[in-house]
């Protein structure tokens, strides 16, 4: 039984959408992709799942794993990791006001606080940062969000290399002292000086597997000895959460 396809169909009909209308909402011209997903003749990738969940007004975990998560074990490892990661963030912070995503633009609603923004992450080819220094002081403003990591900091992301997960002009909350699990976004810096935001999948036999948040960029494997630091990306925030001063709350 294709329960994912059935859920897509049920949610689509509940919103009064045709297959064509849902396809348009996802940015696709033809309804055939939706039809194939509903019939189970084609399996959507993570990027398509995010688009469908957003268009249907539901969460990615509820769409792919069911509200009771009964189908979690049947999912690919990297999607299982994303579901567990989002569920963990929801249990800590709750959902954003639009109910469609955990933390993301509104993580600070749960508890007031500010985190310094220490610079911008200008993206280059293959999702690497062209230039990025790790925290060297404050002065670039603040993010209106609480973090219990005393070394937490924010970065403004410039460029479209991490669409659809992170959009140009949004901010990421980086928490260096927190642990991470499969499915979490992480800030990775290699010994050769390359810095990137990737999705951590696993560390196995001395090799990191890191997936790109943009489907156009390939999965990469990095030897553990070639990694200088990995920091948890604890949230993705809209520009409305940016403050010029810590007192502008």
pLDDT in tens, 134-185: 444 545 788 888 888 888 988 888 777 666 677 888 888 899 998 888 888 8
pLDDT at residue 114 is higher than 60: yes
The pTM (predicted TM-score) of the whole model is: 0.59
Angstrom distance (rounded) from CA 206 to CA 116: 34
**Amino acid 139: pLDDT:** 52
Rounded average pLDDT over 20-39: 92
**Amino acid 18: pLDDT:** 93
Rounded average pLDDT over 188-216: 85
Structure confidence at residue 92 as a pLDDT band (50, 70, 90) = low
CA dihedral 205, 78, 236, 119 (to 10 degrees): 30
| Of 23-37, 104-118, 187-201, highest mean pLDDT | 23-37
Rg (CA), the chain: 19
Residues 166/197, Cβ–Cβ less than 8 Å: yes
> Which of the pair, 246 or 167, is modelled with greater confidence?
167
Instruction: Catalogue all structural domains in the chain, each as residue range(s) with its CATH number.
Output: 3-75 (1.10.260.40), 104-243 (2.10.109.10)
Angstrom distance (rounded) from CA 73 to CA 159: 35
Q: DSSP string of the chain? A: --HHHHHHHHHHHHTT--HHHHHHHTT-S-SHHHHHHHHTSS---HHHHHHHHHHHTS-HHHHHH-TT-TTGGGS-HHHHHHHHHHHHHHHHH-B-TTSSSBSGGGGGGSS--EEEEEEEEEE-GGGBEEE--------S-EEE---S-TT-EEEEEESSTTTTTS-TT-EEEEETTS---TT-EEEEEETTS-EEEEEEEEEETTEEEEE-SSTTSPPEEEEGGGEEEEEEEEEEE-GGGEESSTT--
**Amino acid 134: pLDDT:** 47
Rounded average pLDDT over 91-120: 58
pLDDT > 90 in the chain, percent: 20
- Omega within 30 of 0 (cis) for the link into 164: yes
Strand partners, 128: 196
The answer for residues whose C-beta is within 8 angstroms of residue 121's C-beta and 6 or more apart is 129, 132, 155, 156, 157, 158, 172, 195, 197
Q: Minimal CA–CA distance to 194: which of 125, 244, 248, 148?
A: 125
Residues 185/165, Cβ–Cβ less than 8 Å: yes
| Of 35-39, 85-89, 179-183, highest mean pLDDT | 35-39
């Amino acid at each position: 039984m294709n329960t994912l396809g059935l859920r897509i169909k049920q949610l689509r009909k509940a919103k009064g959408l045709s297959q064509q209308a849902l396809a348009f909402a996802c940015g696709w011209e033809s309804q055939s992709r939706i039809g194939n997903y509903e019939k189970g003749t084609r399996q959507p990738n993570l990027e398509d799942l995010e688009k469908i969940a957003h268009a249907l007004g539901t969460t990615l975990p509820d769409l792919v794993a069911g509200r009771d998560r009964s189908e979690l074990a049947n999912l690919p490892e990297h999607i299982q990791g994303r579901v567990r990661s989002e569920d963990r963030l929801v249990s800590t912070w709750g959902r954003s006001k639009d109910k469609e995503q955990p933390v993301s633009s509104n993580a600070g609603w749960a508890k007031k606080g500010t985190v310094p923004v220490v610079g911008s992450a200008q993206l280059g080819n293959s999702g690497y940062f062209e230039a990025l220094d790790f925290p060297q002081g404050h002065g670039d403003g603040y993010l209106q969000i609480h973090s219990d990591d005393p070394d937490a900091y924010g970065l403004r992301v410039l460029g479209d290399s991490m669409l659809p997960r992170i959009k140009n002009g949004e901010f990421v909350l980086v928490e260096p002292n927190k642990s991470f699990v499969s499915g979490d976004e992480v800030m990775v810096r290699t010994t050769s000086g390359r810095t990137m935001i990737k999705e951590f999948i696993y560390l196995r036999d001395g090799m990191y597997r890191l997936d790109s948040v943009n489907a156009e960029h390939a999965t990469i494997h990095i030897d553990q000895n070639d990694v200088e630091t990995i920091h948890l990306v604890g949230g993705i925030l809209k520009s409305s959460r940016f403050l010029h001063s810590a007192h502008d709350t």
